[in-house]
Amino acid sequence: MISWNGEKLFTDNNFQFGAISFTTFSKKTNKQIRFGVYANKEFFGWFIIPILGLNWKLNDSNSVFGLLPGRFTYEHKWNSKLYSGLNFRAPLNSYRINSQQYITLYDNQLSLFLDYYISKPICLTIEPGWSVFKKIRNTTTENNYKINETNRVDGAFIKLSAAYRFKL
């Protein structure tokens, strides 16, 4: 995968390259376990981490799924149009400001969500939550020395979204 995380379009040092690879083991049709590795060339260097996943349908209404350490979800199906649950996400991103400066965002998000399907593939979501241990690190390189300043910014958030989804 390729992403652009910079202030200016199409410059050499604004693109990041990454990949994810995992394998799935399943002894039962309702439970799958995944192992793998995630790698991404962030602006601070290579970020490589093992991943562990689970996709478990507990019963007709409840399931848990995700790939840790990045994301994990508990979902409850109320009916064919309404789902709710709990989310954990731990995004890590770096953004280039200029050739000598970048920002790295570390976050841990805990949230509740409510999904409403207005039609089979179209979903509206409201997701209130809280960021914990969130850090924003500003790194400047001067004369081959890195200077880091870190701010901690925990707090509430709310996400509203619309998505085109399909269930596997």
CB-based contact 38:7 (threshold 8 Å): no
- In degrees and rounded to multiples of 5, residue 14 shows phi and psi of -110, -5
The CA distance from 167 to 159, in Å, is 21
Taking the alpha carbons at both ends of the chain, their separation in whole angstroms is 22
CB-based contact 89:106 (threshold 8 Å): no
User: What pLDDT, on a 0 to 100 scale, did the predictor assign at position 10?
Assistant: 60
Q: Residue holding tokens 């992403």?
A: 3
Concatenate the DSSP letters of all residues of 35-101 into one string.
EEEEEEEETTEEEEEEEEEEEEE-SSSEEEEEEETTEEEEEEE-SSSEEEEEEEE--EEEEEEETTE
Q: Average pLDDT across each block of 10 residues of the chain; the chain has 168 residues. List them in order.
A: 61 75 91 94 87 95 95 97 97 82 90 96 96 88 74 90 85
The CA distance from 127 to 50, in Å, is 28
Tokens at 88, concatenated: 């954990």
Tokens at 45, concatenated: 């260097």
Q: Residue holding tokens 């050499």?
A: 12
Q: Which of 77, 78, 86, 70 is nearest to 127 (CA)?
A: 86
User: What pLDDT, on a 0 to 100 scale, did the predictor assign at position 41?
Assistant: 85
User: What pLDDT, on a 0 to 100 scale, did the predictor assign at position 157?
Assistant: 95
